[in-house]
Amino acid sequence: MTIKGKTMETKRLTHSSMTCAKTCLRKYYFRYVLGVVRQREETPRRVGTLFHLGLELGRVPDRPDYPAWCVDDEDQYKMDCDWAIAAGMVDAYLKYWEDDAAETVHAELEFDVPVANPETGGVTRKFRAAGKIDKIIVADGRKMIMEHKTTSDSLEPDGTYWRRLMMDQQISHYINGARSLGLGIENTVAYDVTRRPGQRAKSVPILDGDGIKIIEDENGERVMKKNGDPRQSGGEGMTLKARPETPNELRARIREAMLADPEQYFCRREIPRVEADLEEYAHELWQQQKLLTACHNAGYWFRNTSACVMFRSPCDYFEICYQGLAVENGVPEGYEFKRPHSELTEGGKK
Ligand code: SF4
C-alpha cells in the first residue's frame, strides 16, 4: 500500500477519527493518515467487542481463536475468561430484554454524507462525514437510532455518564448521518447501555467427597482438628485447596449477578437533540475539516503530550513518537499498516 493511497482514505470524518484528532493531531496522523496500528488491535479478546458481536448475532459469539501472542496456558485462560464475561453479559442481556417490543428496521447502517459549510451551504470535497449506526428501530410508532454501549461507569439517572451524553458529538453525528440518508428519524438516539460487571475469575475451593473444604499445611497434608474432623478455616502456614474457576462457571456467575440486580447493569434512555445542537455540531464538523485540511497541506501534525498517558496506559504510538521514528514507509516490530476506517466499507456508501 502506498502512502498516497492511505492518505486518500483519511478523507472521512468519523466519530472515532474526530475524537482522535481532538486528543492529539500526531496520533491522528499515525492512525488515520498513515494507517499505522499496533498489531494487538487485531485481537478479538476485548469484552466489549465480544459483547457487541453477541448483540449483532443475537446469541453468544463463538470463542475466538487464540492470536499468535497468546502463547501459554495463562494467556489462553485469560482470553477464555474474557470470552466468558462477554458470554455471561450476552446471556443476561438477552434474558433481560426478551420482551423488548422495539422493531429493528436497519442494522449496522453505514452513512457517508457531504460536509457543508453551515454559513454558506457550500460543500467541501476534501472530507465526508461517515459512520456506522448500530440500529434504526421503531418503538411505540417512533423511528429512531439505537446505539448499544458498554461502560464501567455507574448508570445512575443523574450520573456523569448520562450528563456527558447530552454534549456528545457522536449523537449529533449519527442523527445528521441518518437524516442525510432520508430515513425520517426523530432527532433522538435511544442509548441502550450495559454496564460491564466487575467480577473476574476467582479461585474455587476443592471439596472432598462429603462436600467439605480441604485445608492443607505447608507439606500439602490435610489439616485435621483435635477431634479428628477436617479443619474448615485457615491459619498460619495453611492454605485452602482450590482450583481456578472454569470459564463456564464464570459465565454463569456473571449472568446470575447481572439478573439479580438488573438496574445496576441495564438502562435505556433517549438522548434528544434540538436544532441548535445540530447547528453547533455542523460548525464543529466544518472546523474539524478545516483544521485537518490545514495539517494535510502543511504536512505538520502537532503533538499533545498531555495525552501520551491516559488512564495509566501509554498511547499506542508512544514508542515510535518519542523516538521520532519515520514510519511512512515501514513500521517497527509490533506495528502494521491497516486501512483507516476499516470498520466501514472501502470507498464509502453514498
Ligand atoms: S505519544 Fe503523545 S504526542 Fe505522540 S501521538 Fe501519542 S499522544 Fe500524541
- 138-196 pLDDT, tens per residue? 999 999 999 999 999 999 988 999 999 999 999 999 999 999 999 999 999 999 999 99
Ligand 1 atom nearest to 23, measured from its CA: 7
pTM: 0.84
Distance from C-alpha of 278 to C-alpha of 169, rounded to nearest angstrom = 9
322 CA to middle of ligand 1, Å? 8
* Ligand 1 pocket residue status of 325, Cβ below 6 Å: no
Range of lowest pLDDT (10-24, 62-76, 212-226, 259-273)? 62-76
Q: Going by CA atoms, what residue is nearest to atom 1 of ligand 1?
A: 318
Distance from C-alpha of 260 to C-alpha of 264, rounded to nearest angstrom = 9
Give me the residue label for grid cell 464501567.
Answer: 152
Q: What is the pLDDT of residue 72?
A: 87
Task: Quick: pLDDT tens for 126-141.
Answer: 999 999 999 999 999 9
Q: Going by CA atoms, what residue is nearest to atom 7 of ligand 1?
A: 308
Percent of the chain having pLDDT more than 90? 77
Does residue 81 or residue 347 have the better pLDDT?
81
Ligand 1 atom nearest to 315, measured from its CA: 6
Ligand 1 atom nearest to 30, measured from its CA: 5
Report the SS3 class of residue 87: helix
For the chain, which residues make up each domain, given as ranges?
Answer: 1-39+303-345, 43-197+245-285, 203-244
Distance from C-alpha of 259 to C-alpha of 238, rounded to nearest angstrom = 36
Residues 6+ apart with CB under 8 A from 224: 230, 231
DSSP string, 326-340: --SS---TTEEE--T
Ligand 1 atom nearest to 316, measured from its CA: 6
* Ligand 1 pocket residue status of 128, Cβ below 6 Å: no
Q: What is the pLDDT of residue 40?
A: 65
Task: Quick: pLDDT tens for 3-20.
Answer: 333 444 558 999 999 999
* Ligand 1 pocket residue status of 165, Cβ below 6 Å: no
Task: Quick: pLDDT tens for 285-335.
Answer: 999 999 999 999 999 999 999 999 998 889 999 999 999 999 988 998 889
The DSSP code for 207 is B
Q: What is the pLDDT of residue 279?
A: 96
Residues 6+ apart with CB under 8 A from 339: 1, 6, 9, 35, 346
**Domain 43-197+245-285 has what CATH class?**
alpha beta
Ligand 1 atom nearest to 307, measured from its CA: 7
Question: Contact at 8 Å (CB) between 274 and 187?
Answer: yes
* Ligand 1 pocket residue status of 251, Cβ below 6 Å: no
The backbone torsions φ and ψ at residue 314, rounded to the nearest 5 degrees and listed phi first, read: -70, 150
81 CA to middle of ligand 1, Å? 32
25 CA to middle of ligand 1, Å? 8
* Ligand 1 pocket residue status of 315, Cβ below 6 Å: yes
